[in-house]
Structure 1
Amino acid sequence: MFLKKSTFFTTGQLAKRTGLSLRTLRYYDQIGLLTPDKDQTGAVRRYGVDDLSRLQQIQTLKYVGLSLEEIRSILAAEMDSSGKIRDSLLAQLDVLRQKMLHTENVVKAIRRALEEGNALSEGGWNHLADIIQAVQTDQKWGEQYRSPSRLQSRMHLYDRFSTNPHGWYKWVFEQLGREPDVHLLELGCGDGALWQRNADRIPESWRITLTDLSEGMVEEARSRLKDLPQFKFLVADAQDIPFHDGQFDKVIAGNMLYHVQDIPKAIREIHRVIKKGGCFYTTTMSLRHLQEVEQLGISFDPEMEVLDRVIERFHLGNADELLSPFFREVEPFFYEDSLRITEAQALIDYMISTPMNARSRLQGAALDRFRTYVEQILEREGALLVTKENGMYKGRK
């Protein structure tokens, strides 16, 4: 049933419609998690369509396993944004899909223990340990919930303050070549920025399949590229690519392999779907990338973390070692660049967009103090100079 903005529910009506108890709704009201419009008068609480949307978010995130305090933090961060219900639902879809994958991994570990014999036998302890490890995998559900706006905050900093005027996305696209009739797969396409920013340069004869583990990202890319006939879109896991052997001329994975749980498995899958003689292109950063931003955070708060250490799993220093067992002619290409940051707010937006603890450390009075701290540095130094080391490895099958 379509609800008008003018539709209201009493507490009792909302409880009956949603199946929640009166006690739960009153508790949410009491702790300020779901409070009806403050302009209402009288003892009867009236919930509108926006309240129903907020309640739906609360219950979905509770189901995923977030605490009420974590949910409060997420919803408070969204209140000042221009997010729409559709964006929220896509984000929820992402985190639910991640939970399903996590559950599937646990189920597989249990089945493996059952299929390979008595789980309590001498050799069964390894199976039990595998099950525990699968259950204990830290999924950081609150961070999984975030929408593409986090990625766009980081891109905004690069766009405004990079010293190389050529542009990262233009450079990456140029490495792919311009041969006609190319069948190309991108893994971890994000919001499709690589293709949107090169839309007028994509050969008409190319067939391009964009995939991402995040349904929200796939939908964002589809929305941005909907007028370009060369593209198809699919939610897919790089560790289990749903395509035939030798199906693609080229595969690209931009700044994403370090996020994959089993990197060698993903590279093996990538190798499988590339034609003989075809190429794999993957981008990443060095371990020195943006270190000045990390140091800035630590100089203000020794407990602050900005840069995700996940980069240590696949970076410019070890990519050759990981790729060489699968591809021949593995070649590195480096993009010369740096950042000259002159605006405090853009830098802060970047720092709190990462999955580390900067967002939680920079709240309220601490955020105000940090903004003043950064502004004083910029006024004294003129700019914050930041190392930016990006590059690409190309391997041929």
Structure 2
Amino acid sequence: MKPEEHHYVTTGQLAQRTGMTLRTLRYYDKIGLLKPSQYDHSVRLYSKEDVARLQKIQMLKFIGLSLDEIRQFIQDDSTPEQDLGSSLKMQKEIIQYKIAQMQYVSKAIEEALGMVDEQGQEVDWEGLVDMMQTIHKEKDWSEQYHNAVRLQARIRLYDQFSWNKIGWHPWFFEHLGSLPHLKVLELGCGDAALWRRNANLIPETWSITLTDLSAGMLEQARMSLGANSERFKFLVADAQAIPFHDNEFDIVIANHMLYHVLDINRAVSEMHRVLKPDGCVYASTMSTSHLQEIEQLTQAFDPHIQVLDPVMERFQLDNGREILQASFTEIEQIRYEDYMLIDEVQPLIQYMTSTPMNARKILVGEKLDQFTTYLRGKIAEQGSLYITKDSGFFLARKMQEDKEKYL
């Protein structure tokens, strides 16, 4: 049979089309990084999926990962090679994070150069130490790539099987309203997804400040907003010590982030402090029933497997009102109606192994094969798996009667 009849290319053809050397491709085969799909006697034959994998390998090399790290990622990455769109989106995201980090480091060097200009050739040891801390403080890039892969797995599950097609970010943004001339503060803005996905709906007269603990993440937020970034102010800030005056903002947003804060009560007090009278906090989270069927499925198979991160239990829909009541008297809870009906095994397993818990370490090899068979049986028996999605937010308004409680 001829390779071209089945859309295969030889090592030489692949090298010619990609600019890779024959030596490199043969080495990748030798170390198990890129095995050809087929052999015709001694001729290596590469499929379209192999080419997609090679592209991913080259991107990972570009951002500075070692071949050992790349091999581990290729093994861990559950994204089908045929799903080129999801793979490229994930790769674009990680490149943007890389650019953001480099820009942050560049700013640190620029500041150090400014100090050198001011002080002549005298060495500012403290400044050099600060610069080194700046370079090393951001997340390891191999871990960042892992996080991007895992996030894509979660997004794919939600996008494919969620009943509510509005989407969380448009729904949440709609509840902020559209009154003009508001001052808005977001704590823990991450990559600014809330604003990027609602860019055309933001009132022109709003003054918006985005904050995050990570300077690198703020750079990513700035980049993700593109030309719209000029409409925002960006500031490194801790929700436990918000660096603004009393009574400064009309709206304060804490979108799925309060459960990560060390001292939640202090953060809530700070949000109350910086709000203007009659201003509102929008604090979103999930309930303890959110995705519980996923946990139950894995527990029934193996009680040692954990999928859901218990950190969210620190501030969730069932206890959030009580926490906010330490500073606010008027609190309303608004829920986002949604659920999933899942009738495919692989997207579900990809989600389960994407969380920071131990599922991805246990569900490997023969254990993964057994679990896959188990899930297929459940889907065959029920037709589809119902998964609860229970998220929402608390709308807390700063009232005059809050004063005694706040003091």
Structure 1 CA distance for aligned equivalents of residues 78 and 173 of structure 2: 37
Partner of 1:308: 309
Partner of 1:231: 232
Identity %: 52
8 Å Cα contact 1:248/1:275 also seen in 2: yes
Partner of 2:10: none
1:252 is displaced (CA, Å) by 0.7
Structure 1 CA distance for aligned equivalents of residues 140 and 325 of structure 2: 32
Q: Which amino acid aligns with 2:315?
A: F
Q: Report the number of matched residues.
A: 300
Partner of 2:370: 369
Q: Which amino acid aligns with 2:254?
A: A
Structure 2 CA distance for aligned equivalents of residues 146 and 337 of structure 1: 28
Q: Structure 1's 155 and 209: CA in aligned 2 closer, same or farther, altered over 3 A? A: farther
8 Å Cα contact 2:63/2:98 also seen in 1: no
1:326 aligns with 2:332: no
Structure 2 CA distance for aligned equivalents of residues 57 and 194 of structure 1: 36
8 Å Cα contact 2:97/2:217 also seen in 1: no
1:262 is displaced (CA, Å) by 0.9
8 Å Cα contact 2:307/2:357 also seen in 1: yes
Structure 1 CA distance for aligned equivalents of residues 323 and 140 of structure 2: 27
SS at match of 2:233: strand
Gaps of 5+ in 2: 1-18, 21-30, 34-57, 80-86, 103-138, 399-407
1:192 aligns with 2:203: no
Per-residue Cα deviation, 1:271-292 (whole angstroms, up to 9, x for no partner): 2222222110101111111110
Structure 2 CA distance for aligned equivalents of residues 156 and 238 of structure 1: 30
Query: What is the TM-score normalised by the length of structure 2?
Result: 0.63
Q: Structure 1's 225 and 74: CA in aligned 2 closer, same or farther, altered over 3 A? A: same
8 Å Cα contact 1:90/1:215 also seen in 2: no
SS at match of 1:303: coil
Per-residue Cα deviation, 1:144-170 (whole angstroms, up to 9, x for no partner): 885444334323322221212333222
Query: What is the TM-score normalised by the length of structure 1?
Result: 0.65
Per-residue Cα deviation, 1:73-108 (whole angstroms, up to 9, x for no partner): 678647987648846757999xxxxxxxxxxxxxxx
Per-residue Cα deviation, 1:125-159 (whole angstroms, up to 9, x for no partner): xxxxxxxxxxxxxx999978854443343233222
1:325 is displaced (CA, Å) by 1.8
Structure 1 CA distance for aligned equivalents of residues 368 and 295 of structure 2: 16
Structure 2 CA distance for aligned equivalents of residues 363 and 234 of structure 1: 42
1:55 is displaced (CA, Å) by 5.3
Q: Structure 1's 325 and 162: CA in aligned 2 closer, same or farther, altered over 3 A? A: same
Partner of 1:273: 274
Per-residue Cα deviation, 1:188-217 (whole angstroms, up to 9, x for no partner): 223322222222211111122222234454
Select between 361-370 and 336-345 the one with higher mean Cα deviation. 361-370
8 Å Cα contact 2:265/2:326 also seen in 1: no
8 Å Cα contact 1:148/1:216 also seen in 2: no
8 Å Cα contact 1:187/1:210 also seen in 2: yes
Compute the RMSD of aligned alpha carbons: 3.7
Partner of 1:160: 160
Q: Which amino acid aligns with 2:362?
A: R
Q: Structure 1's 159 and 55: CA in aligned 2 closer, same or farther, altered over 3 A? A: closer
